[in-house]
Structure 1
Amino acid sequence: MKKIAYIGCLGMIGVITTEFGVIGILPQIARYYGVRIETAGLLLSGFAMVIALAGPFMMLLMSRFNRKTVMAVSLLLFLVSGIVSVLSPPFWLLLAARMLPAFLQPVYIATAIAAATGTANKKDQHKMMAIVLGGIGIATITTVPFSTYIADIFNSWQASFVVQGIISLTALCCIWFVLPAMPAKEKQSVGQHLIILRQPAFLISSVMVFLMNAAMFTTYAYFADYLEKVTGMGPGLISGMLLLFGVMGVAGNFVAGRLLSNSLMGTTATFLAGLTVIAAGIYYAGPFSAMTLLLIAAWGFLHTPCFLTGQAYMISYAPEAPEFANSLSISFGNLGIAAGSLSGGWIIREYGVQYTPWGMGLFGVGALGLVLFQWYKGEQPAEQMMFEK
């Protein structure tokens, strides 16, 4: 049922706006609290780390409850987090408020995907997943740059969190008043879930997703700081670049969603290889120019679909426990986000923000190497149709 997928997508917009909305305002937050940019980056890496560590356990705990209730409670926590953040509390409390909804973020995503794909036939399941995860691209094209723009207009980073709170409230209302009740299906035992952790191919795919997300966020986590210091852009132009990045991400997500049904491994490898190559272009781009625009457009086109391709790739190795595999995919992905953000912060501290694309490229090479290794070993995803030897 497409209605469930589209409402799940709306909730995803609220989730992603909260998680990634700080990327465009990290420099302002750092200046407000008098901390280094890599310390402010903990607002992203800390959020991701909570998801990585708590996600699978929360998924097992919440799998027995009505899916509609789980989605609504998850977004309620995001709303509370936004309200606390608007009050500009001490930095430690801001960090704690950011971490609060992170406990249920993977539960929301896994539940929304399971609800959307559970009513679709096998051929359309990737399309339903693409609709839900399309919220990532839509958020990067609309709410993430808009919240950055509003913060610039009002000269207040707190205004960004007002936008985030409004979006979470809207999504919460739609879920509560529009979605039908979706009782949990027969509960699997913990052992039935954990059996996938004994499968080497699934574990390798998990490490691949970790490295891929680390590549994605080594530079992207400091997007605003990079554009400000390396290309010389101001806040207004940076929000425009976030918009361009998001527009191309939506286009890339659309293309990837269509390609996945035909070539899961091929699509994953193609977008990952492109993301790795673009790191070199970002490093050599220099001050703002037409080439900068082209690189940011290509970067966005290749970056956003990696959420979808990585998740589909990892889940395909565990068809017997898709919801738990979903939550593990989100956890390993966010562990990668945390690792990428922390690595980027370390590079900034030791060498400067202009060198973060090197970390992006190295993580990308590692992830691509694992995909090719699984192809060579014949450990192909369940729906693999390409790269045949």
Structure 2
Amino acid sequence: MPLALLALAVGGFAIGTTEFVAMGLLPEMAATFGVSIPTAGWIITAYALGVVVGAPTLTALAHRYSRKHVLIGLMVLFTLGHVATALAPTFGLLVAARAVSALSHGAFFGASAVVARHLAPPGKQGQAMALAITGLTVANIVGVPLGTALGQQYGWRLTYAVVAGIGLLTIAALALLVPDVRTPSAGLRAELSAFSRAQVWLTMLITVIGFSGLFTVLSYIAPILTDLAGYSPGSVSWLLVLFGVGATAGNLLGGRLADWSVPRTLLLGLCAQTGVFAVFAVAGGRPVVAAAAVFAFGFAGFSMSTAIQTRAIVAAGGGASMVAAAQQAGFNIGNAMGAFLGGLVLDAGLGYRSPMVVAAGLTLTGLAVAALAGWLDRSGRAPLEPAPARPGEPAATTG
């Protein structure tokens, strides 16, 4: 595989660390500013909303430039946002800094997916995309637990300062390793026309609903593990290693499965995820079950990451760049929705089992949407792949 994938993975590591470390440091950040845990959840929600805004906006603004320069520019913005996060003097400014930090997230992963597919040998596009995403999952093995432990011991501000340093390292890696890739583009209007296709929207709906369940639980995993399963606060960072190991293993297997069958990979992953959340809801008070569930929902969730991105790019046809970025926005709409719904049931006093119940319902709904999308494709009512263009005519974009 091309060495350029390593640079993409380093960027994914930085982004994965900052996205998920907040969940382990939520109690510390809440204590710093004297707010409740559900209120502190806005730190997570703001980041997710920043991704939603930034992914399509920055991709549209940057579509004329080479992927290499776009990736470097996005990581510069990411790094500046983390400097602001580490220095934020008030809760409101912290929330704003997290939103700014997130603006480049979706556009970075969207561009990475397109570059990885472009550089991959024939028949190995799924594996290449999985390798590019590996930094995100490895962050949950190394970056998140170490960042959580560092933040608990020396203060959460230091954690975000270190992430800013990783951002600088990423900029150097991108400059040295990524070729000046200019993938074919049909122009902004053609990119946007991909959103007229039903399968593009169905894929985004699978992403939003299916992945929101993961974040309904993961956003509040620290208090779930301490208050429900009985673990000490110091154990949380190391239990998150299990999530990272599961996510990394699931992602690498998912890349191979996506090269085999995208629809089957999605259906299997959503089935497994629903079952894991159901078991966690019933037996999550047992420490061993809780630890196993943390591994399992990481594995099941990230086993689908390459498949869902591949499905989106195939459905988009010539509009791959915008749709790939929009997929990241959809993923983080699910993130924000999950954090909101988890906070809602906790604020209602329904206990720390309630996020898992909500999560199981969400992933089951995502499974139903995936099954519907597959049926519409097979029946010809809404084909996944755009019809090939005739000579001298634009490609079909309706589905």
Q: TM-score if structure 1 supplies the norm length?
A: 0.92
Counterpart in the other structure of 1:87 = 87
Counterpart in the other structure of 1:277 = 275
Structure 2: distance between partners of 1:62 and 1:302: 33
- Residue 353 of structure 1 aligns to a residue in which SS? coil
Residue 202 (structure 2) pairs with residue 212 (structure 1) = no
**Could you tell me whether the CA contact under 8 Å between 1:4 and 1:115 is conserved in 2?**
no
Note the C-alpha offset of 1:147. 0.2
**Could you tell me whether the CA contact under 8 Å between 1:275 and 1:302 is conserved in 2?**
yes
Counterpart in the other structure of 2:171 = 172
Structure 2: distance between partners of 1:295 and 1:185: 40
**After superposition, what is the alpha-carbon deviation per residue over 1:300-332, rounded to whole angstroms, capped at 9, x for unaligned?**
211222333322222222232211210111111
Structure 2: distance between partners of 1:105 and 1:73: 12
Residue 108 (structure 2) pairs with residue 117 (structure 1) = no
**Could you tell me whether the CA contact under 8 Å between 1:85 and 1:158 is conserved in 2?**
yes
Note the C-alpha offset of 1:348. 1.1
Structure 2: distance between partners of 1:232 and 1:325: 42
Distance 1:380 1:253, change over 3 A: farther
**Could you tell me whether the CA contact under 8 Å between 1:62 and 1:107 is conserved in 2?**
no
How many residue pairs were aligned? 381
Distance 1:290 1:279, change over 3 A: same
Note the C-alpha offset of 1:276. 1.1
| Residue range with higher mean Cα deviation, 347-356 or 23-32 | 347-356
**Could you tell me whether the CA contact under 8 Å between 2:280 and 2:289 is conserved in 1?**
no
What amino acid sits opposite 2:177 in the alignment?
A: V
Matches for 1:335-354 after TM superposition, within 5 Å:
335-350=333-348, 351-354=350-353
**Could you tell me whether the CA contact under 8 Å between 1:8 and 1:113 is conserved in 2?**
no
Distance 1:181 1:199, change over 3 A: closer
Residue 51 (structure 2) pairs with residue 25 (structure 1) = no
Counterpart in the other structure of 1:266 = 264
Which of 247, 253, 256 aligns to 2:245? It is: 247
Note the C-alpha offset of 1:101. 2.7
Note the C-alpha offset of 1:199. 1.4
Q: TM-score if structure 2 supplies the norm length?
A: 0.90
Residue 102 (structure 2) pairs with residue 102 (structure 1) = yes
Counterpart in the other structure of 1:40 = 40
Distance 1:88 1:288, change over 3 A: farther
Note the C-alpha offset of 1:149. 1.3
Distance 1:55 1:286, change over 3 A: closer
What amino acid sits opposite 1:110 in the alignment?
A: G
Which of 332, 335, 341 aligns to 1:334? It is: 332
**After superposition, what is the alpha-carbon deviation per residue over 1:73-117, rounded to whole angstroms, capped at 9, x for unaligned?**
211222222222222421111111111132222221111222222
**After superposition, what is the alpha-carbon deviation per residue over 1:218-262, rounded to whole angstroms, capped at 9, x for unaligned?**
111111121122112223211111001111211111111111111
Counterpart in the other structure of 1:289 = 287
Counterpart in the other structure of 1:191 = 189
Counterpart in the other structure of 2:70 = 70
Distance 1:117 1:332, change over 3 A: same
Counterpart in the other structure of 1:16 = 16
Note the C-alpha offset of 1:277. 1.1
What amino acid sits opposite 1:250 in the alignment?
A: T
Structure 2: distance between partners of 1:136 and 1:6: 12
Counterpart in the other structure of 1:364 = 363
Structure 2: distance between partners of 1:101 and 1:176: 21
Note the C-alpha offset of 1:177. 3.2
Counterpart in the other structure of 1:301 = 299
Distance 1:196 1:186, change over 3 A: closer
Note the C-alpha offset of 1:185. 4.4
What amino acid sits opposite 1:177 in the alignment?
A: L
Instruction: State, as a whole percentage, how many aligned pairs show the same letter.
Output: 24
- Residue 100 of structure 1 aligns to a residue in which SS? helix
What amino acid sits opposite 2:3 in the alignment?
A: K
- Residue 233 of structure 1 aligns to a residue in which SS? coil
Structure 2: distance between partners of 1:145 and 1:382: 41
Note the C-alpha offset of 1:153. 2.8
Note the C-alpha offset of 1:35. 0.9
- Residue 141 of structure 1 aligns to a residue in which SS? coil
Structure 2: distance between partners of 1:102 and 1:319: 27
Q: 5+ unaligned residues in a row in structure 2: which ranges? A: 387-399
| Residue range with higher mean Cα deviation, 281-290 or 42-51 | 281-290
Counterpart in the other structure of 2:396 = none
Structure 1: distance between partners of 2:307 and 2:333: 17
Counterpart in the other structure of 1:153 = 153
- Residue 254 of structure 1 aligns to a residue in which SS? helix
Structure 2: distance between partners of 1:101 and 1:366: 31
**Could you tell me whether the CA contact under 8 Å between 2:78 and 2:103 is conserved in 1?**
no
Structure 2: distance between partners of 1:326 and 1:151: 33
Note the C-alpha offset of 1:30. 1.0
Structure 2: distance between partners of 1:33 and 1:129: 39
RMSD of the TM alignment (CA)? 1.9
What amino acid sits opposite 1:273 in the alignment?
A: C
Q: 5+ unaligned residues in a row in structure 1: which ranges? A: 384-389
Note the C-alpha offset of 1:44. 1.2
Structure 2: distance between partners of 1:151 and 1:366: 36
- Residue 296 of structure 2 aligns to a residue in which SS? helix
| Residue range with higher mean Cα deviation, 190-199 or 214-223 | 190-199
Note the C-alpha offset of 1:64. 1.0
**After superposition, what is the alpha-carbon deviation per residue over 1:30-80, rounded to whole angstroms, capped at 9, x for unaligned?**
121111212211111111112213321221111111222211121122222
